[in-house]
Amino acid sequence: MAETRFGRQTPTASVVLPYTDTLGPEAVALYNGSGRTAIPWQELLCYDIMAVDRDGLWVHQKFGYSVPRRNGKNEVIVMREMWGLKNGEKICHTAHRTTTSTAAWKRLCDILTKAGYIELGRARRDFVPPEKSFRTNKQHGLETIEVTGGGSIVFRTRTASGGLGEGFDLLVIDEAQEYTTEQETALIYTVTDSKNPQTVFCGTPPTLVSAGTVFQKMREGTLAGGRYATGWAEWSVEQQPKDLTDPEIWYQVNPSMGYHLDERKIRAEWDGDKDPLDFVIQRLGYWFRYSLQSAISRGEWEALKLQTLPELTGPLFVGVKYGKDGTNAAMSLAVKTGDGNILVEGLDVRPIRAGNDWILDLLEKLRPAATVVDGAGAQNLLAEAMKARSLKKPVLPTVKEIITANAAFEQMLSAGTLRHMGQPSLTETVANCEKRAIGTGGGFGYKSLKDGQDICLLDSVILAAWACSEAREKRRQRISY
């Protein structure tokens, strides 16, 4: 019989402040008393979360951890909450969805019962409750548990105002990848009055539809060493693997492999038709280096789409952008419409190694009023080639002008004066971008949210739209006698 293989029990990345004492063993013993057995990684993580200093205060006032789906990350929360209930803490367990907070309440009630706690009904006046007992409110969305002679816990769905006016010793942020700045503003001060406060964040890396940013910023700040009294632990891959079906990777980032997770279950998740990005995030714990919320939403861009070609007025303007990574070059055009808007269209994206002839051929056909070219080094080569073909000298923008072009593009989006015909390639690029800083004066550009996707098509559109917006219409000279 083959020997059982287990997943990696220590985090792939972590920040744990030095400590000599921990209350973790007490929490694990309470949990194991329910008939369940903590997996080693859960036990070790609980020790780190519940580390205390000489005064008995939590070493980590905040602790966040990320584990891929179905590994049992919520069991660590149960251990922490069981200890808190036994020791008189006032706890708030928050989640993104009501179904999740209700499931957490049911789980804790079940484990308390299996650990020997008796659920009490309506009390009689002369009734003396047993030492190991609890009462619970089962109202959906407002669940509570109160342990006799101990602490209490409320389960709530997060809102922008939920938690205001209430005070707790322990705040649990479940589904932390969905935790927004507005929700943090409402909840962060709920533990301030506690003599020994702690906030525990539990979740997975954000997906393409995740709205939260707090969890990711917490991770980045903690791993960089810039967070006070904060700990972090994660099981994740550093880069997107080429072979997603390699079990070696699964064992590295799924600590419960060999316990309740096995290769067969994961192979069933990955059937070849599944979105590889979703699998990499949720099963392999991959963190993007930036927020997955696009700076320009798909809905915002779709609202500017035209169904039929409008009346075009004035000359054409072209933007050419050589990608920063030296891989691709993109070309786009812009033209004013009869209703005073600007219509943009991506013309083509080709590898830089294909040369400049395709760009020059298009310029000869289009004969634009102005061509804006950006891309260190390559822009000068194109300018020379345009001169050789007797084409109009291109505009080679400065950094200040690039910043102006990006700001102008954002203003066009806000004002609704930009139009397009719904090109799929352009839509995908626009709907998957975020801002990047340019210079030190608050200027910005764009970069792609997707690894391996070039942003040069959007950049070329921005250059063309800027040139079009800056052009002044020629006014006919009027002669009167």
CA distance 252 to 75: 20
The overall pTM is greater than 0.75 = no
Three-state secondary-structure class, residue 368:
coil
pLDDT digits (tens, 9 = 90+) for 79-114: 999 999 999 999 999 999 999 999 999 999 999 999
Cα–Cα nearest to 212, from 163, 147, 158? 158
- Position 82, amino acid: M
pLDDT (0 to 100) of residue 273: 60
pLDDT (mean) for 379-407: 92
pLDDT (0 to 100) of residue 414: 83
Specify whether the backbone of 220 is left (phi greater than 0), alpha (psi in -120 to 50) or beta.
alpha
Task: Show the DSSP H helices in 189-262 as ranges.
Answer: 214-223, 247-253
Q: 36 falls in which pLDDT band (50, 70, 90)?
A: very high
DSSP track, 23-63 = SHHHHHHHHHTTT----HHHHHHHHHHTEE-TTS-BS-SEE
- Position 435, amino acid: K
Percentage of the chain exceeding pLDDT 70? 91
Paired strand residues for 200: 63, 172
Domain with CATH 3.40.50.300 in the chain: 13-282
Classify burial at 441, counting beta carbons within 10 Å of its beta carbon; exposed 0-12, middle 13-18, buried 19 or more: exposed
pLDDT (mean) for 329-343: 94
CATH topology for 13-282 is Rossmann fold (3.40.50)
pLDDT digits (tens, 9 = 90+) for 135-164: 999 999 899 999 999 999 999 999 866 665
CB 372 within 8 A of CB 397: yes
pLDDT digits (tens, 9 = 90+) for 179-194: 988 899 889 999 999 9
The CATH number for 298-470, chosen from 3.40.50.150, 3.30.390.10, 3.20.20.70, 3.30.420.240, is 3.30.420.240
Domain with CATH 3.30.420.240 in the chain: 298-470
pLDDT digits (tens, 9 = 90+) for 444-467: 888 887 766 778 999 999 999 999
pLDDT (0 to 100) of residue 271: 67
Cα–Cα nearest to 327, from 207, 171, 448, 168? 448
- Relative orientation angle of helices 24-32 and 40-49, to the nearest 10 degrees: 140
Q: Considering the chain, what is the average pLDDT of its residues? A: 89
CA distance 303 to 416: 9
Q: Say whether pLDDT at 269 is over 90.
A: no
